[in-house]
Amino acid sequence: MNLHPVLRWVLWPLSIVYRAIARLRVWCYRCGLYKSKSLEQPVISVGNLTVGGTGKTPMVIWLAERALAKGGRIAILSRGHHSRRGLAGSHERSSDEVRLFLSRFGDRVPVGVDRDRYAAALRLNERQKESRIDCFLLDDGFQHLKLKRDADIVLIDATNPFGAGFLLPAGPLREHASALSRADFVVITRSDRSPAIESIVRRHSAAPIFYAQTRLRAVVEKDCPLPGSSVVEFRSRRYLVFCGIGNPQAFCDDLSRWGIQSLGSTFFRDHHRYTQPEADQLERLAVAMGATALLCTEKDIFNLDRVQFRLLPVHFCQIDLQINDDERFLASLSNVVIKRDAATEAAVAEVSSRQPGKDRR
Question: In tens digits, what is the pLDDT along the chain, a chain of 361 residues?
Answer: 677 788 888 999 999 999 999 999 999 999 999 999 999 999 999 999 998 778 999 999 999 999 999 999 999 999 876 555 555 554 445 688 999 999 999 999 999 999 999 999 999 999 988 889 999 999 999 999 999 999 999 999 998 899 778 899 999 999 999 999 999 999 999 999 999 999 999 999 999 999 999 999 999 998 744 455 588 999 999 999 999 998 899 999 999 999 999 999 999 999 999 999 999 999 999 999 999 999 999 999 999 988 999 999 999 999 999 999 999 999 999 999 988 877 766 665 665 566 655 554 4
Written as one letter, the residue type at 281 is: Q
Closest listed residue to residue 318, CA positions, set 219, 185, 239: 219
* Architecture of the domain delimited by 215-321: 3-Layer(aba) Sandwich (3.40)
Taking a C-beta distance cutoff of 8 angstroms, is the pair 271, 96 a contact? Answer: yes
Taking a C-beta distance cutoff of 8 angstroms, is the pair 179, 49 a contact? Answer: yes
Q: How far apart are CA 294 and CA 176, in angstroms?
A: 38
pTM attached to this predicted model: 0.89
Closest listed residue to residue 275, CA positions, set 302, 304, 246: 304
Taking a C-beta distance cutoff of 8 angstroms, is the pair 50, 114 a contact? Answer: no
Taking a C-beta distance cutoff of 8 angstroms, is the pair 247, 160 a contact? Answer: yes
Within 52-148, strands assigned E span 74-78, 86-87, 111-113, 135-139
Q: How far apart are CA 44 and CA 142, in angstroms?
A: 10
* Residues whose CB is less than 8 angstroms from the CB of residue 65 and which lie 6 or more positions away in sequence, other chains included: none
DSSP state of 66: H
Query: What are the φ and ψ backbone dihedral angles of 278, each rounded to 5 degrees?
Result: -70, -40
DSSP state of 269: -
Q: How far apart are CA 155 and CA 139, in angstroms?
A: 12
CATH 3.40.50.300 spans which residues of the chain? 40-213+323-346
Taking a C-beta distance cutoff of 8 angstroms, is the pair 88, 106 a contact? Answer: no
Can you identify the CATH homologous superfamily of domain 40-213+323-346?
Answer: P-loop containing nucleotide triphosphate hydrolases (3.40.50.300)
* Residues whose CB is less than 8 angstroms from the CB of residue 36 and which lie 6 or more positions away in sequence, other chains included: 29, 145, 146, 147, 148
CA distances from 31 to 27, 117, 145, 151 (A): 6, 22, 13, 20
Taking a C-beta distance cutoff of 8 angstroms, is the pair 156, 186 a contact? Answer: yes
DSSP state of 146: T
Taking a C-beta distance cutoff of 8 angstroms, is the pair 319, 298 a contact? Answer: yes
